[in-house]
Chains A and B, each alone.
Chain A
């Protein structure tokens, strides 16, 4: 049987090699971002396209932290994304619970409505939202962004929370209710503690989505003191088109929170993406 083992080895090799190709394709752009960020400006034109520079520098990161507005943008984005994540998760947990544990009139219509909102062209509501928000003082405001992001993330988060609630056996709360708990107490004492991991995952998903949103932010924000990271970075890129090192250092900065949350929600990716098949 030596032939069999030989083809087995070839198969094994092909499998590992294909995986290596995927790994390179996924990671190379991020590696490049990091590489340019640590390349000294002087070396960019001579060594810009080399795989690794002959000298390393942290100057770009120092400049971004001390001489630029990026710390403000970072904090603005962090505020908007965390507030959106918290608000969305609370609202979605309540709605997901209703979908999972109750039969009620209009259930199908409401869930179809949630699905449809996910398929709408976002560009359709950009102009009307601007016109509605402007007289309310919600343009150039972080609160305005939080409200919009929450609304657009709720449908997806509801599907996600619903799928987490489905995973909790009904017997648990029923036995609590038999023992004299009200439904709400059962929810509070039995169900919520069990869904905490699911809620954490929802928080992570929504945070990542809000962190990366740019169309509404571009449309609604013009004042740099309330700019979120994408708005600040894109303005910087159009103004200082040759400050490569600083742009990339800022890019690395934008990557950090998203990566942290990614590691944190990795376990729930499958559930999240099937719930949000529409969203991405």
Chain B
């Protein structure tokens, strides 16, 4: 009887340990995330409704929805919104299709494939500030060759820096972003391609299917889930990505390359207006959540149909 109680008690102790053990391993990660990501996010939400200007410390306090009202009257906010859309969609389009092309090319055996793979994936490892500077230099007619090439094929009337032309400046950071982002899509899609069972291809070859039919009927359906998830996540990531723009144009000339994240950064970093910056960040977050919700809804509808 007695021993049974002891056994139950020690059993309980073991259970207790077993229950607690995973949390023990998790706790450092959870604590640092709670302190450095979650707390500031909540604080950031509260800033959106306060006046916090470091250059104007006495002008503090709660202001309700004043920042959001100001936002709707701020034409730079709306132009930044439009630029964010251009920046995200154009970058994503080229990153995805060029990445898919590269993945298809690499999904074939040839000698030196490993080396080629390492070299074409290298841009991904280049620090983003350096990618931005390198491309900004390439667009500079004094030390860069791109303006000269563009003018000799007739894209530009004379070799000048497109980064200082409000009409064309956005293409500078977009090209840099495409260069940097192709490897990401190539790598994830290559991994998905390699998971397509090879007997399917063999069967298609026996049936005499054309390469295009094979791609549409076999390859694409296998890639579809991977494509759906990476494109969705990547859209959000690109929309939030401001480094290249800040380095190459800092939003200029005449705000022509200012996206929402770069505008938020400039408002916080240069104007030190934390309240307005946070209000715009909340708006950005709401828009991104909205986008995700629509996409998930569309996906579940498609799955049902």
Contacts and interface: CB of A to CB of B under 8 A. Distances in A.
A152 B37 contact: yes
Nearest 9 pairs between A and B by C-beta? A151-B36, A212-B127, A262-B125, A102-B22, A127-B274, A98-B25, A128-B40, A124-B281, A95-B29
Interface stretch (A64-72, A167-175, A194-202, A229-237): A229-237
Given A121-B285, A129-B36, A29 B179 contact: yes
Interface of B: 19, 21-23, 25-26, 28-30, 32-33, 35-41, 43-44, 47, 52, 101-102, 105, 108, 110, 116, 118-131, 133-135, 137-138, 141-145, 148, 179, 181-184, 187-188, 190-191, 229-230, 233-234, 236-237, 240-243, 246-247, 261, 264-265, 268-269, 274, 277-278, 281-282, 284-285, 288, 292
A1 interface: no
A117 B52 CA distance: 25
Main secondary structure of the interface of B (DSSP, over half): helix
Given A147-B36, A280-B237, A27 B119 contact: yes
B137 A36 contact: yes
A189 interface: no
Interface in A108-157: 110, 113-114, 117, 119-132, 147-148, 150-152, 154-155
Contact of A22 (B28, B105, B184): B105
Contact of B32 (A30, A99, A151): A151
A279 interface: yes
Given A128-B44, A259-B122, A233 B129 contact: yes
Contact of A97 (B25, B131, B133, B242): B25
Interface size class, chain A: 35 or more
A259 B125 contact: yes
Contact of B126 (A30, A97, A219, A244): A30
Contacts of A130: 268, 274
A39 to B, nearest CB: 9
B142 A248 contact: no
A94 B26 CA distance: 6
A54 interface: no
Contacts of B138: 29, 32
A48 B128 contact: no
A274 B233 CA distance: 11
A22 B116 CA distance: 9
Contact of A126 (B108, B125, B265, B288): B265
A212 B127 CA distance: 4
Contacts of B52: 127, 131
A122 B240 contact: yes
A102 B18 CA distance: 9
A101 to B, nearest CB: 8
Main secondary structure of the interface of A (DSSP, over half): helix
Contacts of B116: 19, 23
Contacts of B38: 117
Contact of A151 (B22, B37, B145, B229): B37
A30 B22 CA distance: 46
Given A121-B284, A266-B118, A280 B184 contact: yes
B145 A32 contact: yes
Question: In this complex, which of B22, B28, B122, B128 has the most chain A Cβ atoms within 10 angstroms of its Cβ?
Answer: B22
20 contacts: A15-B108, A18-B101, A22-B182, A23-B119, A25-B179, A26-B182, A110-B30, A125-B41, A126-B264, A126-B268, A127-B44, A127-B47, A128-B40, A128-B41, A152-B37, A214-B247, A215-B242, A229-B127, A261-B125, A277-B233
Contacts of A218: 269
A270 B193 CA distance: 12
B181 A36 contact: no
Contacts of A18: 101, 105
Contact of B127 (A22, A258, A270): A258
B23 A254 contact: no
Given A154-B29, A212-B127, 19 more contacts: A16-B110, A23-B116, A27-B119, A49-B148, A94-B29, A99-B26, A120-B240, A122-B240, A123-B265, A123-B281, A127-B277, A130-B268, A132-B43, A151-B37, A219-B269, A258-B125, A266-B118, A270-B187, A273-B187
